[in-house]
Structure 1
Amino acid sequence: MFKKILVVEDFDVINTGIRTALEEMGIQQIEYAFYCDEAYYKIKKADLNNEPFNLVISDLSFENDGTPQHLKSGEELIEKIRLEFSDLKIIVFSIEDKSFRIQHLYKDLNIQGYVWKNRNGLKELKKAIDSVFATNLFYISPDLNSVIHPKKALEIKDFDIFIILNLSKGLLQEDISKKLKRKGIQPSSTSAVEKRLKLLKEHFNANNPAHLVAIAKDFGLI
Protein backbone atom coordinates (compact mmCIF):
# COMPACT_ATOMS: atom_id res chain seq x y z
CA MET A 1 0.00 0.00 0.00
CA PHE A 2 1.03 3.61 -0.51
CA LYS A 3 3.24 4.85 2.30
CA LYS A 4 3.11 8.61 1.82
CA ILE A 5 0.11 10.54 0.51
CA LEU A 6 -0.54 14.26 0.00
CA VAL A 7 -4.14 15.45 0.25
CA VAL A 8 -4.87 18.78 -1.47
CA GLU A 9 -8.21 20.03 -0.16
CA ASP A 10 -9.26 23.37 1.34
CA PHE A 11 -12.23 22.27 3.46
CA ASP A 12 -11.49 20.91 6.92
CA VAL A 13 -14.59 18.72 7.05
CA ILE A 14 -13.57 16.96 3.82
CA ASN A 15 -10.01 16.56 5.09
CA THR A 16 -11.34 14.92 8.25
CA GLY A 17 -13.29 12.37 6.22
CA ILE A 18 -10.32 11.64 3.96
CA ARG A 19 -8.02 11.29 6.97
CA THR A 20 -10.36 8.75 8.55
CA ALA A 21 -10.58 6.77 5.31
CA LEU A 22 -6.79 6.71 4.86
CA GLU A 23 -6.14 5.75 8.47
CA GLU A 24 -8.63 2.88 8.11
CA MET A 25 -6.49 1.68 5.22
CA GLY A 26 -3.41 1.70 7.44
CA ILE A 27 -1.68 4.64 5.74
CA GLN A 28 0.62 6.34 8.24
CA GLN A 29 2.21 9.26 6.40
CA ILE A 30 -0.51 11.70 5.40
CA GLU A 31 0.18 15.36 4.69
CA TYR A 32 -2.26 18.11 3.78
CA ALA A 33 -2.20 21.26 1.68
CA PHE A 34 -4.95 23.89 1.60
CA TYR A 35 -3.55 25.71 -1.43
CA CYS A 36 -2.23 24.44 -4.76
CA ASP A 37 1.01 26.44 -4.46
CA GLU A 38 1.56 24.90 -1.04
CA ALA A 39 0.94 21.44 -2.48
CA TYR A 40 3.46 21.95 -5.26
CA TYR A 41 6.18 23.11 -2.84
CA LYS A 42 5.50 20.14 -0.57
CA ILE A 43 5.89 17.77 -3.52
CA LYS A 44 9.05 19.55 -4.64
CA LYS A 45 10.59 19.55 -1.16
CA ALA A 46 9.77 15.88 -0.56
CA ASP A 47 11.43 14.94 -3.85
CA LEU A 48 14.57 16.98 -3.07
CA ASN A 49 14.79 15.25 0.33
CA ASN A 50 14.49 11.83 -1.33
CA GLU A 51 11.24 11.27 0.56
CA PRO A 52 8.77 11.59 -2.33
CA PHE A 53 5.02 11.23 -2.12
CA ASN A 54 3.59 8.06 -3.62
CA LEU A 55 0.15 9.50 -4.30
CA VAL A 56 -1.59 12.88 -4.52
CA ILE A 57 -5.32 13.20 -3.87
CA SER A 58 -6.56 16.57 -5.07
CA ASP A 59 -9.76 18.54 -5.48
CA LEU A 60 -10.17 20.70 -8.58
CA SER A 61 -11.82 23.81 -7.14
CA PHE A 62 -10.39 25.96 -4.35
CA GLU A 63 -12.05 28.91 -2.65
CA ASN A 64 -10.39 32.28 -3.20
CA ASP A 65 -9.75 33.70 0.28
CA GLY A 66 -7.54 36.52 -0.92
CA THR A 67 -4.24 34.67 -0.50
CA PRO A 68 -2.10 35.29 -3.64
CA GLN A 69 -1.65 32.07 -5.60
CA HIS A 70 0.12 31.19 -8.84
CA LEU A 71 -1.71 27.87 -9.16
CA LYS A 72 -5.39 28.62 -8.70
CA SER A 73 -6.99 25.23 -9.39
CA GLY A 74 -6.35 21.54 -9.02
CA GLU A 75 -6.13 21.25 -12.80
CA GLU A 76 -3.30 23.83 -12.89
CA LEU A 77 -1.55 21.96 -10.08
CA ILE A 78 -1.82 18.66 -11.97
CA GLU A 79 -0.46 20.27 -15.14
CA LYS A 80 2.51 21.54 -13.11
CA ILE A 81 3.07 18.14 -11.50
CA ARG A 82 3.04 16.40 -14.86
CA LEU A 83 5.77 18.71 -16.17
CA GLU A 84 8.16 17.71 -13.38
CA PHE A 85 6.89 14.50 -11.78
CA SER A 86 5.46 12.46 -14.61
CA ASP A 87 5.35 9.22 -12.61
CA LEU A 88 3.61 10.60 -9.52
CA LYS A 89 0.21 8.94 -9.16
CA ILE A 90 -2.78 11.29 -8.91
CA ILE A 91 -6.40 10.74 -7.92
CA VAL A 92 -8.87 13.61 -8.36
CA PHE A 93 -11.60 13.84 -5.70
CA SER A 94 -14.13 16.41 -6.90
CA ILE A 95 -17.80 17.31 -7.31
CA GLU A 96 -17.07 18.20 -10.96
CA ASP A 97 -18.87 15.86 -13.35
CA LYS A 98 -18.36 17.57 -16.70
CA SER A 99 -17.24 14.94 -19.19
CA PHE A 100 -14.88 17.17 -21.18
CA ARG A 101 -12.92 18.09 -18.02
CA ILE A 102 -12.65 14.49 -16.88
CA GLN A 103 -11.60 13.41 -20.37
CA HIS A 104 -8.90 16.09 -20.38
CA LEU A 105 -7.56 14.98 -16.99
CA TYR A 106 -7.60 11.34 -18.04
CA LYS A 107 -6.26 11.58 -21.59
CA ASP A 108 -4.02 14.65 -21.49
CA LEU A 109 -2.82 14.85 -17.87
CA ASN A 110 -2.64 11.11 -17.23
CA ILE A 111 -4.32 10.97 -13.83
CA GLN A 112 -4.79 7.49 -12.38
CA GLY A 113 -8.24 7.91 -10.83
CA TYR A 114 -11.28 10.17 -10.69
CA VAL A 115 -13.66 9.94 -7.74
CA TRP A 116 -16.91 11.85 -7.67
CA LYS A 117 -17.34 13.67 -4.35
CA ASN A 118 -20.88 12.54 -3.55
CA ARG A 119 -22.48 10.61 -0.69
CA ASN A 120 -20.48 7.49 -1.57
CA GLY A 121 -17.34 9.45 -2.33
CA LEU A 122 -15.18 8.30 0.57
CA LYS A 123 -16.02 4.63 -0.04
CA GLU A 124 -15.17 5.08 -3.72
CA LEU A 125 -11.96 6.89 -2.77
CA LYS A 126 -10.78 3.85 -0.80
CA LYS A 127 -11.59 1.60 -3.76
CA ALA A 128 -9.72 3.98 -6.06
CA ILE A 129 -6.63 3.94 -3.87
CA ASP A 130 -6.63 0.13 -3.76
CA SER A 131 -7.09 -0.07 -7.52
CA VAL A 132 -4.42 2.52 -8.38
CA PHE A 133 -1.94 0.80 -6.06
CA ALA A 134 -2.59 -2.71 -7.37
CA THR A 135 -3.21 -2.14 -11.09
CA ASN A 136 -2.41 0.12 -14.02
CA LEU A 137 -6.11 0.57 -14.80
CA PHE A 138 -7.76 3.97 -14.63
CA TYR A 139 -10.34 4.11 -11.82
CA ILE A 140 -13.47 6.22 -12.11
CA SER A 141 -16.57 6.32 -9.91
CA PRO A 142 -19.25 4.00 -11.34
CA ASP A 143 -21.72 6.90 -11.71
CA LEU A 144 -19.28 8.59 -14.10
CA ASN A 145 -18.08 5.46 -15.90
CA SER A 146 -19.82 6.35 -19.17
CA VAL A 147 -17.64 9.47 -19.41
CA ILE A 148 -14.57 7.32 -20.09
CA HIS A 149 -16.28 4.20 -21.40
CA PRO A 150 -19.34 5.39 -23.32
CA LYS A 151 -21.92 2.81 -24.30
CA LYS A 152 -21.99 4.26 -27.78
CA ALA A 153 -19.47 6.74 -29.10
CA LEU A 154 -20.86 9.70 -30.98
CA GLU A 155 -19.18 10.30 -34.32
CA ILE A 156 -18.66 14.01 -34.89
CA LYS A 157 -19.57 14.78 -38.49
CA ASP A 158 -19.08 17.78 -40.79
CA PHE A 159 -22.76 18.50 -40.20
CA ASP A 160 -22.05 18.90 -36.47
CA ILE A 161 -19.06 21.17 -37.07
CA PHE A 162 -21.21 23.30 -39.37
CA ILE A 163 -23.86 23.70 -36.67
CA ILE A 164 -21.39 24.55 -33.90
CA LEU A 165 -19.39 26.92 -36.11
CA ASN A 166 -22.50 28.88 -37.02
CA LEU A 167 -23.64 28.91 -33.41
CA SER A 168 -20.30 30.52 -32.56
CA LYS A 169 -21.15 33.26 -35.05
CA GLY A 170 -24.39 34.00 -33.22
CA LEU A 171 -26.80 32.38 -35.68
CA LEU A 172 -30.08 30.96 -34.45
CA GLN A 173 -31.22 27.44 -35.29
CA GLU A 174 -33.64 28.79 -37.91
CA ASP A 175 -30.82 30.70 -39.61
CA ILE A 176 -28.57 27.63 -39.58
CA SER A 177 -31.38 25.66 -41.19
CA LYS A 178 -31.65 28.26 -43.98
CA LYS A 179 -27.88 28.11 -44.61
CA LEU A 180 -28.03 24.31 -44.82
CA LYS A 181 -30.82 24.53 -47.39
CA ARG A 182 -28.91 27.07 -49.47
CA LYS A 183 -25.89 24.76 -49.52
CA GLY A 184 -28.02 21.74 -50.37
CA ILE A 185 -27.01 19.90 -47.19
CA GLN A 186 -29.42 17.32 -45.78
CA PRO A 187 -31.01 17.15 -43.31
CA SER A 188 -31.67 20.86 -43.22
CA SER A 189 -34.89 21.38 -41.28
CA THR A 190 -34.94 23.41 -38.09
CA SER A 191 -36.12 20.34 -36.17
CA ALA A 192 -33.13 18.33 -37.49
CA VAL A 193 -30.75 21.05 -36.31
CA GLU A 194 -32.52 21.18 -32.95
CA LYS A 195 -32.33 17.38 -32.46
CA ARG A 196 -28.66 17.20 -33.42
CA LEU A 197 -27.84 20.14 -31.18
CA LYS A 198 -29.59 18.43 -28.28
CA LEU A 199 -27.56 15.25 -28.90
CA LEU A 200 -24.30 17.23 -29.06
CA LYS A 201 -25.05 19.03 -25.79
CA GLU A 202 -25.75 15.70 -24.10
CA HIS A 203 -22.59 14.14 -25.54
CA PHE A 204 -20.33 16.98 -24.39
CA ASN A 205 -22.33 17.54 -21.18
CA ALA A 206 -22.86 21.18 -22.18
CA ASN A 207 -25.33 23.37 -20.30
CA ASN A 208 -26.34 25.50 -23.28
CA PRO A 209 -25.29 26.31 -26.88
CA ALA A 210 -22.68 28.85 -25.73
CA HIS A 211 -21.14 26.23 -23.43
CA LEU A 212 -21.12 23.75 -26.32
CA VAL A 213 -19.24 26.26 -28.49
CA ALA A 214 -16.68 26.81 -25.71
CA ILE A 215 -16.12 23.05 -25.31
CA ALA A 216 -15.79 22.60 -29.07
CA LYS A 217 -13.12 25.32 -29.12
CA ASP A 218 -11.28 23.59 -26.26
CA PHE A 219 -11.24 20.38 -28.27
CA GLY A 220 -10.09 22.20 -31.40
CA LEU A 221 -13.21 21.25 -33.34
CA ILE A 222 -13.75 24.84 -34.52
Structure 2
Amino acid sequence: MFKKVLIAEDMDFINFGVRSELEKLGVKEIDYVQYCDEALLKLKSAHLNNAPFDLLISDLSFEQDHNNQKITSGEQLIKNVRNDFPKLKIAVFSVEDKAYTIQTLFKEHHINAYVWKSRDGLRELNRALNMIETSESIYISPELASVLACNNSVEITEYDIFLIDCLSQGLLQGQISEKLKELNLNPSSVSAVEKRLKFLKEHFNANNPAHLVAMSKDLGLI
Protein backbone atom coordinates (compact mmCIF):
# COMPACT_ATOMS: atom_id res chain seq x y z
CA MET A 1 0.00 0.00 0.00
CA PHE A 2 1.01 3.64 -0.40
CA LYS A 3 3.46 4.71 2.29
CA LYS A 4 3.15 8.49 2.22
CA VAL A 5 -0.06 10.31 1.24
CA LEU A 6 -1.03 13.98 1.03
CA ILE A 7 -4.69 14.99 1.28
CA ALA A 8 -5.78 18.36 -0.17
CA GLU A 9 -9.24 19.06 1.25
CA ASP A 10 -10.62 22.16 2.96
CA MET A 11 -13.40 20.46 4.95
CA ASP A 12 -12.20 19.06 8.29
CA PHE A 13 -14.80 16.31 8.52
CA ILE A 14 -13.92 15.03 5.04
CA ASN A 15 -10.22 15.14 5.94
CA PHE A 16 -10.95 13.06 9.03
CA GLY A 17 -12.91 10.46 7.03
CA VAL A 18 -10.23 10.12 4.37
CA ARG A 19 -7.49 9.80 6.99
CA SER A 20 -9.47 7.06 8.72
CA GLU A 21 -9.73 5.08 5.48
CA LEU A 22 -6.01 5.49 4.83
CA GLU A 23 -5.22 4.25 8.33
CA LYS A 24 -7.39 1.18 7.68
CA LEU A 25 -5.29 0.52 4.59
CA GLY A 26 -2.12 0.68 6.64
CA VAL A 27 -0.72 3.95 5.30
CA LYS A 28 2.04 4.97 7.70
CA GLU A 29 2.51 8.65 6.88
CA ILE A 30 -0.51 10.88 6.20
CA ASP A 31 -0.39 14.65 5.82
CA TYR A 32 -3.20 17.03 4.92
CA VAL A 33 -3.66 20.64 3.85
CA GLN A 34 -6.62 22.95 3.32
CA TYR A 35 -5.06 25.13 0.62
CA CYS A 36 -3.82 24.27 -2.88
CA ASP A 37 -0.72 26.47 -2.66
CA GLU A 38 0.32 24.65 0.51
CA ALA A 39 -0.26 21.28 -1.14
CA LEU A 40 2.12 22.08 -3.99
CA LEU A 41 4.73 23.44 -1.58
CA LYS A 42 4.57 20.29 0.56
CA LEU A 43 4.99 18.07 -2.49
CA LYS A 44 8.01 20.08 -3.67
CA SER A 45 9.58 20.20 -0.21
CA ALA A 46 9.20 16.47 0.29
CA HIS A 47 10.77 15.82 -3.09
CA LEU A 48 13.76 18.07 -2.31
CA ASN A 49 14.23 16.27 1.01
CA ASN A 50 14.30 12.89 -0.75
CA ALA A 51 11.13 11.85 1.08
CA PRO A 52 8.50 12.24 -1.66
CA PHE A 53 4.81 11.54 -1.37
CA ASP A 54 3.58 8.66 -3.51
CA LEU A 55 -0.09 9.69 -3.62
CA LEU A 56 -2.10 12.92 -3.71
CA ILE A 57 -5.80 12.84 -2.88
CA SER A 58 -7.46 16.11 -3.82
CA ASP A 59 -10.88 17.70 -3.88
CA LEU A 60 -11.70 20.04 -6.78
CA SER A 61 -13.54 22.82 -4.94
CA PHE A 62 -11.84 25.00 -2.33
CA GLU A 63 -13.65 27.88 -0.65
CA GLN A 64 -11.81 31.18 -0.73
CA ASP A 65 -11.17 33.01 2.52
CA HIS A 66 -8.86 35.76 3.83
CA ASN A 67 -5.77 33.78 2.77
CA ASN A 68 -4.97 34.80 -0.80
CA GLN A 69 -4.01 31.82 -2.95
CA LYS A 70 -2.38 31.59 -6.36
CA ILE A 71 -3.95 28.19 -6.98
CA THR A 72 -7.66 28.34 -6.20
CA SER A 73 -9.03 25.02 -7.45
CA GLY A 74 -8.17 21.35 -7.34
CA GLU A 75 -8.01 21.18 -11.11
CA GLN A 76 -5.39 23.94 -11.19
CA LEU A 77 -3.47 22.17 -8.43
CA ILE A 78 -3.53 18.87 -10.33
CA LYS A 79 -2.33 20.57 -13.51
CA ASN A 80 0.64 22.06 -11.64
CA VAL A 81 1.39 18.83 -9.80
CA ARG A 82 1.30 16.77 -12.96
CA ASN A 83 3.74 19.14 -14.66
CA ASP A 84 6.19 18.87 -11.74
CA PHE A 85 5.60 15.23 -10.77
CA PRO A 86 4.57 13.22 -13.84
CA LYS A 87 4.77 9.87 -12.05
CA LEU A 88 2.92 10.79 -8.85
CA LYS A 89 -0.35 8.89 -8.38
CA ILE A 90 -3.32 11.27 -8.11
CA ALA A 91 -6.83 10.46 -6.90
CA VAL A 92 -9.67 12.98 -7.02
CA PHE A 93 -12.39 12.80 -4.36
CA SER A 94 -15.13 15.23 -5.33
CA VAL A 95 -18.87 15.86 -5.73
CA GLU A 96 -18.22 17.27 -9.22
CA ASP A 97 -19.96 15.20 -11.90
CA LYS A 98 -19.58 17.34 -15.04
CA ALA A 99 -18.43 15.30 -18.00
CA TYR A 100 -15.94 17.76 -19.50
CA THR A 101 -14.16 18.34 -16.18
CA ILE A 102 -13.73 14.63 -15.54
CA GLN A 103 -12.63 13.90 -19.11
CA THR A 104 -10.05 16.68 -18.92
CA LEU A 105 -8.65 15.35 -15.66
CA PHE A 106 -8.10 11.91 -17.14
CA LYS A 107 -7.08 12.84 -20.69
CA GLU A 108 -4.94 15.94 -20.09
CA HIS A 109 -3.79 15.67 -16.47
CA HIS A 110 -3.63 11.87 -16.35
CA ILE A 111 -5.16 11.34 -12.94
CA ASN A 112 -5.31 7.75 -11.73
CA ALA A 113 -8.68 7.71 -9.98
CA TYR A 114 -11.86 9.74 -9.74
CA VAL A 115 -14.11 8.91 -6.79
CA TRP A 116 -17.46 10.59 -6.45
CA LYS A 117 -18.31 11.89 -2.97
CA SER A 118 -21.44 9.84 -2.50
CA ARG A 119 -22.90 8.04 0.49
CA ASP A 120 -20.52 5.15 -0.16
CA GLY A 121 -17.67 7.44 -1.23
CA LEU A 122 -15.11 6.60 1.47
CA ARG A 123 -15.46 2.84 1.00
CA GLU A 124 -15.20 3.37 -2.73
CA LEU A 125 -12.06 5.45 -2.21
CA ASN A 126 -10.63 2.46 -0.38
CA ARG A 127 -11.31 0.24 -3.40
CA ALA A 128 -9.89 2.81 -5.81
CA LEU A 129 -6.62 3.14 -3.90
CA ASN A 130 -6.17 -0.62 -3.76
CA MET A 131 -6.55 -0.73 -7.55
CA ILE A 132 -4.25 2.12 -8.53
CA GLU A 133 -1.56 1.19 -6.00
CA THR A 134 -0.96 -2.21 -7.56
CA SER A 135 -1.48 -1.39 -11.25
CA GLU A 136 -1.50 1.30 -13.91
CA SER A 137 -5.27 0.90 -14.31
CA ILE A 138 -7.50 3.90 -13.78
CA TYR A 139 -10.53 3.97 -11.52
CA ILE A 140 -13.73 5.97 -11.89
CA SER A 141 -16.90 5.67 -9.82
CA PRO A 142 -19.48 3.41 -11.51
CA GLU A 143 -22.04 6.24 -11.51
CA LEU A 144 -19.68 8.31 -13.70
CA ALA A 145 -18.22 5.55 -15.86
CA SER A 146 -20.32 6.58 -18.88
CA VAL A 147 -18.40 9.88 -18.96
CA LEU A 148 -15.28 8.08 -20.17
CA ALA A 149 -17.22 5.56 -22.24
CA CYS A 150 -18.66 8.32 -24.44
CA ASN A 151 -17.16 8.17 -27.90
CA ASN A 152 -17.05 11.83 -28.85
CA SER A 153 -15.08 12.29 -32.06
CA VAL A 154 -15.19 16.08 -31.83
CA GLU A 155 -12.57 17.72 -29.65
CA ILE A 156 -13.73 20.84 -27.85
CA THR A 157 -10.78 23.23 -27.83
CA GLU A 158 -9.79 26.16 -25.64
CA TYR A 159 -10.79 28.36 -28.59
CA ASP A 160 -14.31 26.91 -28.48
CA ILE A 161 -14.54 27.45 -24.73
CA PHE A 162 -13.41 31.05 -25.21
CA LEU A 163 -16.17 31.64 -27.77
CA ILE A 164 -18.83 30.15 -25.51
CA ASP A 165 -17.58 32.13 -22.53
CA CYS A 166 -17.86 35.32 -24.59
CA LEU A 167 -21.43 34.40 -25.45
CA SER A 168 -22.16 33.91 -21.75
CA GLN A 169 -21.00 37.49 -21.19
CA GLY A 170 -23.53 38.72 -23.74
CA LEU A 171 -21.00 39.60 -26.45
CA LEU A 172 -22.11 39.66 -30.08
CA GLN A 173 -20.12 37.95 -32.83
CA GLY A 174 -18.49 41.20 -33.92
CA GLN A 175 -17.42 41.95 -30.35
CA ILE A 176 -16.03 38.43 -29.98
CA SER A 177 -14.04 38.95 -33.18
CA GLU A 178 -12.54 42.16 -31.80
CA LYS A 179 -11.65 40.46 -28.53
CA LEU A 180 -9.90 37.64 -30.40
CA LYS A 181 -7.87 40.18 -32.37
CA GLU A 182 -6.88 42.00 -29.17
CA LEU A 183 -5.57 38.71 -27.74
CA ASN A 184 -3.92 37.65 -31.03
CA LEU A 185 -6.07 34.55 -31.20
CA ASN A 186 -6.92 33.02 -34.56
CA PRO A 187 -9.12 32.64 -36.48
CA SER A 188 -10.53 36.01 -35.47
CA SER A 189 -12.76 37.10 -38.35
CA VAL A 190 -16.48 37.53 -37.79
CA SER A 191 -17.21 34.85 -40.39
CA ALA A 192 -14.90 32.37 -38.61
CA VAL A 193 -16.60 33.07 -35.29
CA GLU A 194 -20.03 32.68 -36.90
CA LYS A 195 -19.09 29.35 -38.54
CA ARG A 196 -17.59 27.86 -35.37
CA LEU A 197 -20.54 28.90 -33.19
CA LYS A 198 -22.92 27.43 -35.78
CA PHE A 199 -20.93 24.18 -35.66
CA LEU A 200 -21.00 24.11 -31.85
CA LYS A 201 -24.76 24.69 -31.75
CA GLU A 202 -25.27 21.81 -34.18
CA HIS A 203 -22.83 19.57 -32.31
CA PHE A 204 -24.60 20.13 -28.97
CA ASN A 205 -28.03 20.22 -30.60
CA ALA A 206 -28.58 23.67 -29.07
CA ASN A 207 -31.56 25.75 -30.20
CA ASN A 208 -29.85 29.14 -29.84
CA PRO A 209 -26.77 30.81 -28.27
CA ALA A 210 -28.39 30.96 -24.82
CA HIS A 211 -29.16 27.24 -25.00
CA LEU A 212 -25.54 26.54 -26.04
CA VAL A 213 -24.28 28.51 -23.03
CA ALA A 214 -26.63 26.67 -20.68
CA MET A 215 -25.59 23.26 -22.00
CA SER A 216 -21.93 24.20 -21.75
CA LYS A 217 -22.36 25.17 -18.11
CA ASP A 218 -24.07 21.84 -17.41
CA LEU A 219 -21.12 20.01 -18.96
CA GLY A 220 -18.59 22.06 -17.02
CA LEU A 221 -17.08 23.72 -20.09
CA ILE A 222 -17.46 27.19 -18.59
Confirm whether residue 210 of structure 1 aligns to residue 218 of structure 2: no
Tell me which residue corresponds to 2:130.
130
| Alpha-carbon separation, structure 1, partners of 2:212 and 2:97 | 18
Confirm whether residue 148 of structure 1 aligns to residue 148 of structure 2: yes
Cα distance change of structure 1 residues 170 and 66 upon mapping to structure 2, 3 Å threshold: same
**In the TM superposition, what is the alpha-carbon distance from 1:70 to its structure 2 partner?**
0.6
Confirm whether residue 197 of structure 1 aligns to residue 206 of structure 2: yes
**In the TM superposition, what is the alpha-carbon distance from 1:66 to its structure 2 partner?**
1.6
1:116-135 Cα distance to aligned partner (Å, 9 max, x none): 01111101100110011011
Q: Is the 8 A contact 1:54 1:88 kept in 2?
A: yes
**In the TM superposition, what is the alpha-carbon distance from 1:215 to its structure 2 partner?**
8.7
SS of the residue corresponding to residue 197 of structure 1 reads coil
Tell me which residue corresponds to 1:27.
27
Q: Is the 8 A contact 2:98 2:218 kept in 1?
A: no
Tell me which residue corresponds to 2:117.
117
Cα distance change of structure 1 residues 77 and 156 upon mapping to structure 2, 3 Å threshold: closer
Q: Is the 8 A contact 2:71 2:77 kept in 1?
A: yes
1:76-111 Cα distance to aligned partner (Å, 9 max, x none): 111111111111110000000000000000000010
Fraction of identical pairs, as percent: 44
Q: Is the 8 A contact 1:97 1:116 kept in 2?
A: yes
**In the TM superposition, what is the alpha-carbon distance from 1:8 to its structure 2 partner?**
0.4
Tell me which residue corresponds to 1:57.
57
**In the TM superposition, what is the alpha-carbon distance from 1:155 to its structure 2 partner?**
5.1
Cα distance change of structure 1 residues 29 and 213 upon mapping to structure 2, 3 Å threshold: closer
Structure 2, unpaired ranges of 5+: 174-201
**Misfit runs of 4+, over 4 Å:** 154-157, 168-171, 213-216
Cα distance change of structure 1 residues 208 and 130 upon mapping to structure 2, 3 Å threshold: farther
Q: Is the 8 A contact 1:100 1:215 kept in 2?
A: no
Structure 1, unpaired ranges of 5+: 172-192, 199-206
SS of the residue corresponding to residue 26 of structure 1 reads coil
Greater shift, 72-81 or 49-58, is seen at: 72-81
| Alpha-carbon separation, structure 2, partners of 1:156 and 1:27 | 42
| Alpha-carbon separation, structure 2, partners of 1:83 and 1:155 | 27
The amino acid across from 2:206 in the alignment is L
Tell me which residue corresponds to 1:101.
101
Q: Is the 8 A contact 1:7 1:56 kept in 2?
A: yes
| Alpha-carbon separation, structure 1, partners of 2:109 and 2:70 | 19
Tell me which residue corresponds to 1:82.
82
Q: Is the 8 A contact 1:2 1:133 kept in 2?
A: yes
Q: Is the 8 A contact 1:54 1:89 kept in 2?
A: yes
Cα distance change of structure 1 residues 208 and 11 upon mapping to structure 2, 3 Å threshold: farther
Decide which structure has the larger Cα Rg and report it: 1
The amino acid across from 1:91 in the alignment is A
Across the two proteins, how many residue pairs are aligned to each other?
182
Cα distance change of structure 1 residues 143 and 215 upon mapping to structure 2, 3 Å threshold: closer
